[in-house]
Amino acid sequence: MKRVVVIGAGFAGLAAALRARRAGADVTVLEALPRAGGKAALGWADFSSGPTVVTMPQVLSALHERVGLPRPHFESARPTTTYSYADGRTFAPGALAVEGDLDGTLAQLSRTEGQDYLRLLRLARTLYQDAQDTFLFAPPPSRTALLRYALTRGRRASPGRSLASLVQSGPYLTPFWLRFATYLGADPYRAPAVLHNISWVELGMGVWHLNGWAGGPPGQARGLGALAARLAEHAGMLGVRFEYRTRVEHLVHERVAPGRRLVYAAHTGRGVFSADVFVSAADRDHTLGWLGAPPSPRPLGLSGFALQLRLSEALPAAHHLLFSQDYAREWQELRAGQLPTDPTLYLHLDGDRAFFLVNAPPRPELGAGRDEYARFLLWRLQERLPLPVREWRALSPAEYARVARGGAIYGSAPHGLAGALRPGWRLGSYDNLRQVGGTVHPGGGVPLSLLSGWNGAGELLSLPYDDLGGRGPW
C-alpha cells in the first residue's frame, strides 16, 4: 500500500487526504494546529475565522458525493452582499443565477450605472468562461495550453491593461468592481484586467450560506469551519491518521538521477514521518523553506485583520461591505505597509456570531498593536452598523502568519499577468512531492483549494483529473 504524507489539514490537505485514502493509500496528515481547517480554524474553535463567502457550491457538493458524505445544505444569499457607502447610499445586488434576472439590481442604479453594470458583468462572464478550461478546472497549464489560450482568448483578457482602467464606472461602482480582486489577495490598483473574472463568480453564479447537511436538521452546523471539521471527521473514519500539533521543520530529500530528486521524510517536532509520496498543502513558501530553497521573489499579497464577534441576539445570515470614504487612499496606506485609518469594513452575520474583516498588509509585526486597532475597528463598525456585540476576539496578520508566510492569505500577489498565473503543483525536480492549496493553481478560496488538493494528490497517484463538477455553462 502506498504511504502518503499530507502536510496541512486546511481544505486542500483534507481534499488531498480524502482522495489518496479513497484510492487505497495509507495516509497520514501532519498538522501544526490542534484541529483541521487551516485559515478557517484560528481563534475560537466554534467559529470560522476566515472564509465566509461560500461560492461554487457545486464543487463542495461533488466532493461530498465522491467521498460518500451527504451533500451540504446551501441557502442562497439574497442579496449577495449589501454595499454601503460613506454618504449613506446602499447597493444590494442579486446574483443572476439566483434571481433569474437583473431587474432588482438595475433598479438601484442610474441609467448610466446600469448600462455599465451590464457591460462589465458580461465582460466578467466572458473572462470567466474563457479562463475555465485552462486556469480553473484543469491541471496547471502547460506551455502549449497557455499558448492556445493566448491565441484563442488572450486578447479578450486585455493583456497589458490594468483592472483599474477596465472598471472605471463612476464614484460608487468603481470601488465595487475593484474589490473583487482582493479575493485573490491583490491590490486592486495593481491587478491585471483579467482578474475582473472573479466578480462573475459572485454576481453571476451566486453566493451561498452553508447550513447543515442533507438529512440533518438545518442549523446543525454552519459555516466553512464546520465543513472542515466534518471532512476531517469523515477522513478519520475512512482511516486517515491525523497528527495534530505536529509542525514540519524540514523535508529530507536526495538526488536520485540528474534533474530528479525524491523526498524521503518529514522531520517534525514530534518525530520523523517517512512515506512514498508527499503532498504539501501548506503555504508554498513554507514548503520551499523545508526543502532549503529560498521563498518566491514575488511580493506577498494581502493579509487580513479580523474580529470574531459574539452577539447577544441572533441576526439573519448576511454579508455587508461598508466602503471607506476614499478607496484609493485606503490602498495607498495598505501599499505603504500600514493598517488603514479609514478601512473598508467587511461583515458576515450568521445568527449570534459575526466575522468582521478589513484588508491588511502582510506584516505580522502589526499584531503588536492588535487590541488597540481592534477597538478602533469596533468603534467604526458601531458608527455605521450598530451590533449587539457581547464578546470579541481579534486575529491580526500575526495570527494569519501562523498558517501563511507573512500572513499573506493567498501567497504571492497576483499583480501583472505573470503574477496572476498561479504556480503549478510541482516544485522543481521533486518527483514524489506536490504542492497544493490556496497559494498555487488554480487559486485561493475554499472551492479552488479543494480542487487543488483533490487533483494535486490525484496527479501524484496517477488518477485522472476530476473537475469536481465545477466546469459549467455559467
Ligand X SMILES: Cc1cc2nc3c(=O)[nH]c(=O)nc-3n(C[C@H](O)[C@H](O)[C@H](O)COP(=O)(O)OP(=O)(O)OC[C@H]3O[C@@H](n4cnc5c(N)ncnc54)[C@H](O)[C@@H]3O)c2cc1C
Task: Name the residue nearer to ligand X (CB basis): 169 or 303.
Answer: 303
Q: What is the DSSP string of 285-345?
A: HHHHHHTTPPPPSSPB--EEEEEEEEEEEEEEEEEEEE--S-HHHHHHHHHTT---SS--E
State the nearest-atom distance from the C-beta of 426 to ligand X, in Å: 17
Provide, rounded to whole angstroms, the least separation between the CB of residue 311 and ligand X: 19
**Dmax of the chain from CA atoms?**
66
3 φ, ψ (degrees, to nearest 5): -95, 125
- Which residue number, 76 or 108, has a Cβ lying nearer to ligand X? 76
Q: Which residue number places its CB atom closest to ligand X?
A: 38
DSSP letter string, 222-283: BHHHHHHHHHHHHHHHHT-EEETT--EEEEEEEEEETTEEEEEEEEETTEEEE-SEEEE-S-
Least gap, CB of 372 to ligand X (angstroms):
20
To ligand X, the closest distance from the beta carbon of 286 in angstroms equals 5
Taking the C-alpha atoms of residue 264 and residue 291, their distance in angstroms, rounded to an integer, is 11
C-beta of 98 vs 150, nearer to ligand X: 98
First to last CA, the chain: 41
CB of 111 to ligand X, least distance (A): 32
Shortest Å, Cβ 449 to ligand X:
4
Task: Pick the closer one to ligand X by CB: 140 or 444.
Answer: 444
* Residue placing its CB nearer to ligand X in the complex, 40 or 309: 40
Nearer to ligand X (CB atom), residue 166 or residue 458? 458
Q: Give the shortest CB-33-to-ligand X separation in angstroms.
A: 4
Residues 131 and 421: their CA atoms lie apart, in Å, by: 11
Indicate the residue among 32 and 181 with the shorter CB distance to ligand X. Answer: 32
Footprint of ligand X (CB under 6 A): 7-13, 30-33, 38-40, 50-53, 247-248, 281-282, 286, 304, 306, 357, 400, 403-404, 409, 437-438, 444-446, 449
Rounded distance between C-alpha atoms, residue 78 and residue 243, angstroms: 40
Instruction: Quote the CA–CA distance of 58 and 126 in Å, as a whole number.
Output: 20
The span from the CA of 32 to the CA of 245, in Å, is 4
